[in-house]
A and B are shown apart, each in its own frame.
Chain A
Amino acid sequence: MGVATGAYGLSFGALSVAAGFSVLQTQVLSLLLFTGGSQFAVAGVIGAGGSGVSAVATSTMLGVRNGLYGLETSRMLQVRGWRRLVAAHLTIDESTAVGMSQQHPDERRLGFWTAGIAVFVLWNLMTLLGAGIGNALGDPTRWGLDAAAAAAFIALLWPRLRSRDARATGVLAGLIALVLAPVTKPGVPVLVAVVAAVIVGLLGAGSRRKVA
């Protein structure tokens, strides 16, 4: 997991600077937003000429899953006061996965905190390194950093495509984006593509199983 986190952080740092954010702004995103998918979305939408509103909206919707994790981890951790505020910030894919994969309640808590803190430190260090590299590279298209941003999105998407519902959502969302991109402002196609999740979520196998 350390290698994966380091790689994500490094890529994010370089891509964020390529999208026109300063090294400091890039670092603040990693410290404050601290959830990979959303951070890549901010860099991607702004880098592609999208508005601030669409960047923030895309980022926030990608972060909604963390809130869903919080429903589980808050029961698991049973924290109050300032610890709860810190736990919320550390609630991301990795810490939730490590915590939930343990059996014993104490091990689950330890797993969550250890993974959360380790990823936070590593993510921020690698962001700084990546931002430094991005700064040194200069012109982003000359080095293919626009293609790297696209590759980062598909690499983040890849492990989420295991179910049929997910693949249907991906195809539908991709088609929506293709159709809308030439006729709307940058950033809009991605926001409208959310409709794909709503349609498949309502009609897909998941809800049919509930009826049956």
Chain B
Amino acid sequence: MSRWTIVLLAGTLGYLVKLAGYLVPTRLVAGRRTSNIVALLPVALLAALTVVQTFAGRGGALTVDARAAGIGAAVVLLLLRANFLVVVIAAAVVAALLRAAGIG
């Protein structure tokens, strides 16, 4: 799949999912269990994305490197209720400094 195909397909499907909310009758999707699952969907995806992005190396092998230190810094800042951009930049800076020092 080319980069452009990914961009256009993700965009189109993302829009269709939004539009579906305006066209589908509520009763079809309003079941308690369905809405529980749908509400938890972003949590599962984002948690898995975090883990993979932090610990998966080339070929998927698990590694603990500069990224793990970066995510540690991010968690500390999130506990301190820091702004999104502060969290993201801090993680990058920690990882970059460790790498510049030859670690991870």
For A56, A141, A166, the residue with the greatest tally of chain B CB atoms inside 10 Å of its CB is: A56
Interface residue A55 (Cβ < 8 Å from any Cβ of B)? yes
A8 in the interface (beta carbon within 8 A): yes
CB–CB B17/A63 < 8 A: yes
Residues of B near A41 (CB, < 8 A) are 45, 49
Q: Is B48 a contact of A177 with CB atoms below 8 Å?
A: yes
B85 and A10 contact, CB distance less than 8 A: yes
Interchain CB contact under 8 A, B46 and A68: no
A136 adjacent to chain B (CB < 8 Å)? no
Q: How far is the CA of A149 from the CA of B35 in the complex (A)?
A: 29
- Identify A56's interface contact among B10, B61, B73, CB under 8 A: B10
Complex contact A170–B44 (CB within 8 A): yes
Q: How large is the interface on A (under 10, 10 to 19, 20 to 34, 35 or more residues)?
A: 35 or more
Known: A69-B21, A201-B36. A150 touches B50 (CB 8 A): yes
Chain B residues with Cβ under 8 A from A194's Cβ?
A: 41, 44-45
- Kindly list chain A residues whose C-beta atoms are within 8 Å of the C-beta of B17: 60, 63-64, 66-67
The answer to whether A32 touches B36 (Cβ under 8 A) is no
> Could you count the A-B residue pairs with CB atoms below 8 Å apart for me: how many are there?
326
Q: Are B84 and A4 in contact (CB under 8 A)?
A: yes
A181, B55: Cβ atoms under 8 Å?
Answer: yes
Contact partners of A156 in chain B: CB under 8 A: 46
Q: Hey, which chain A residues are within 8 Å of B103, CB to CB?
A: none
A46 to B10, CA, bound (A): 12
In the assembled complex, A29 has its CB within 8 A of some CB on chain B: yes
3 interchain residue pairs of minimum CB distance: A70-B21, A52-B1, A147-B70
Chain A contact residues: helix, strand, loop or mixed: helix
A-B pairs with beta carbons under 8 Å apart, 22 shown: A6-B85, A11-B84, A20-B3, A22-B3, A32-B15, A35-B14, A41-B49, A42-B10, A49-B58, A58-B45, A63-B13, A65-B41, A88-B21, A91-B22, A147-B69, A147-B94, A150-B53, A151-B92, A154-B71, A181-B56, A196-B47, A210-B33
Cβ-defined partner of B47 (8 Å) among A38, A60, A170: A170
B95-A166 in contact (CB<8A): no
Which one, A100-108, A117-125, A185-193, is touching chain B?
A185-193
* With A147-B91, A155-B74 as contacts: A165 and B7 at CB distance below 8 Å: no
CB-defined contacts of B41 to chain A, threshold 8 Å: 61-62, 64-65, 194, 197
Task: Please name all residues of chain B whose beta carbon is closer than 8 Å to the beta carbon of A174 when the two chains form the complex.
Answer: 47-48, 50-51
Contact B91 A71 (CB under 8 A): no
Does A204 reach chain B (CB closer than 8 Å)?
yes
Chain B residues within 8 Å of A87, by CB: 22
